[in-house]
Amino acid sequence: MKTANKTVTATKLVKDALGKAKHFKEYNIFNYLNEEGALKKAAEIDERIARGEKVGKLAGVPFAIKDNYLSPEGETTASAHILEGFTSPITATCVEKLLAEDAILIGRTNLDAFAHGSSTENSYYGPTLNAYDKERVAGGSSGGSAVAVALDIVEFATGSDTGGSIRQPASFNGVYGLKPTYGAVSRYGVVAMASSTDCMGFFTKTPEDMDLLMSIATGQDPKDMTSLPDFYEKSEVKKVKKIGVVKDFDNDSVNVEIRDALKKKTEDLKKKGYEIVELDMPTLKYALAAYYIIVPAEVASNLSRYDGVRYGFRSENSKDLESLYENTRDEGFMPENKRRIMIGNFVLSSGFYDAYFLKAAKARTLIVKEYEDAFNKCDFILTPVSPNYAFKLGEKVNDPIAMYLEDLMSVSLNLAGVPGLAVPVGKTKSGLPIGLQLVGPRRSDKALIEFAKELK
Partner 1 sequence: MKYYPTIGIECHVQLSTKTKLFSEVDNDARGKEPNSCVSPVCYALPGMLPRLNGEAIKYAIRAGRAMNCEINAQSRFDRKHYFYPDSPKGYQITQFYHPIIGAGYVELPSGTKIRIEHAHLEGDAGKLTHFDNYSLVDLNRVDTPLIEIVSMPDIHSAKDAHDYCKELWRLMRYAKVTYGDLYNGNMRFDVNVSLAPEGSDKLGTRAEVKNLNSFRSVERAVEYEIARQTKILEAGEKVVQETRGWNDATGKTTGQRSKEEAKDYRYMPEPDLPPINLSRQFINDESAKLSMMPSDYREKFGQTISTDILEILLDYPELMETMNGIDEKHITMIANLFTSVLLAEEKSVEYLNDLPDTKKLNDLAEMNEKKELSSTATKEVFLRLFDPQMKGRDTKTIAKELGLIQENDLGALEAIVDAVLKKPETKKAQDDFRNGEEKVIGFLVGQVMKESKGKANPSAVQQILRDKLK
With CB under 8 A as the contact rule, the residue among 301, 315, 318, 428 that binds partner 1 is: 301
Nearer residue to partner 1 within complex by CB, 195 or 327: 195
| CB of 187 vs partner 1, minimal distance in Å | 7
Beta strands 242-246 and 380-384 are: parallel
Active-site annotation holder among 41, 66, 205, 446: 66
Pick from 7, 251, 253, 350: which binds partner 1 (CB under 8 A)? 350
Which DSSP string do the residues of 132-160 spell out, in sequence order? Answer: S-TTBB--SSSHHHHHHHHTTSSSEEEEE
Q: Name residues contacting partner 1, limited to 202-231 (CB under 8 A).
A: 222-226
| Contact between 442 and partner 1 per CB under 8 A | no
237 binds partner 1 (CB under 8 A): no
325 Cβ contact partners less than 8 Å away, ≥ 6 residues apart: 307, 308
Least Å from the CB of residue 90 to partner 1: 6
Give the burial class of 320: count Cβ atoms within 10 A of its Cβ; 0-12 exposed, 13-18 middle, 19 or more buried: exposed
50 forms part of the interface with partner 1 (CB under 8 A) = no
365 CA to centre of own chain = 23
Of 179 and 396, the one with the shorter C-beta distance to partner 1 is 179
Report whether 74 contacts 80 (CB < 8 A).
no
Q: Which stretch binds partner 1 (CB under 8 A): 41-49, 125-133, 263-271, 344-352?
A: 344-352
> Please, which residues bridge with residue 359 across strands?
none
The catalytic position among 71, 118, 119, 165 is: 165
Helices then strands, each counted (H, E), the chain:
14, 11
Q: Does 321 bind partner 1 (CB under 8 A)?
A: yes
Q: State the CB neighbour count (10 A cutoff) for residue 149.
A: 31
Backbone angles phi, psi at 212, to 5 degrees: -60, -45
**273 is a site residue for partner 1 (CB under 8 A):** no
- Whether cis (ω within 30° of 0) applies to the bond prior to 410 is no
Q: Is 141 a catalytic residue?
A: yes
Contact 72, 91 (CB under 8 A): yes
Binding mask 161-190 for partner 1 (x = CB under 8 A): --------------------------xxxx
> Looking only at residues 360 through 399 of this chain, which bind partner 1 when binding is defined by CB under 8 A?
361
Closer residue to partner 1, CB minimum distance, 196 or 266 = 196
Q: Is 25 an annotated catalytic residue?
A: no
Q: How far is CA 266 from CA 254, 262, 271, 423, 427, in A?
A: 17, 6, 9, 14, 17
Count of residues engaged in binding partner 1, rule: CB under 8 A: 46
Q: Rounded distance, CA 68 to CA 53, Å? A: 33
| Calpha distance 258→236 (Å, rounded) | 32
Under 8 Å between Cβ of 188 and 92: yes
**297 touching partner 1, by CB under 8 A:** yes
Is residue 304 at the binding interface for partner 1, with CB under 8 A as the rule?
Answer: yes
Q: Is 349 in the site for partner 1 (CB under 8 A)?
A: yes
Work out whether 317 is an interface residue with partner 1 (CB under 8 A): no
Q: Is 331 in the site for partner 1 (CB under 8 A)?
A: no
Residue from 79, 119, 141, 186 carrying the catalytic annotation: 141
Side chain identity at 366, as an amino acid letter? L
Tell me the closest approach of the beta carbon of residue 127 to partner 1, in angstroms: 23
Provide the b/e sequence for 365-390 (b: ≥16 CB within 10 Å): ebbbebbeebbeebbbbbbbbbbbbb
Can residue 431 be called a binding residue for partner 1 (CB under 8 A)?
A: no
235 among known catalytic residues: no
**Residues between 75 and 134 with contacts to partner 1, criterion CB under 8 A:** 76, 78, 83, 86, 88-90, 92
Choosing from 14, 111, 151, 191, the residue that interacts with partner 1 (CB under 8 A) is 191
Least Å from the CB of residue 78 to partner 1: 7
> Residues 6 or more apart from 40 whose CB is under 8 A from it?
none
Give catalytic residue positions. 66, 141, 165
For partner 1, the binding residues (CB under 8 A) are 68-70, 76, 78, 83, 86, 88-90, 92, 187-192, 194-196, 222-226, 297-298, 300-301, 303-307, 309-311, 321, 325, 345, 348-350, 353, 357, 361
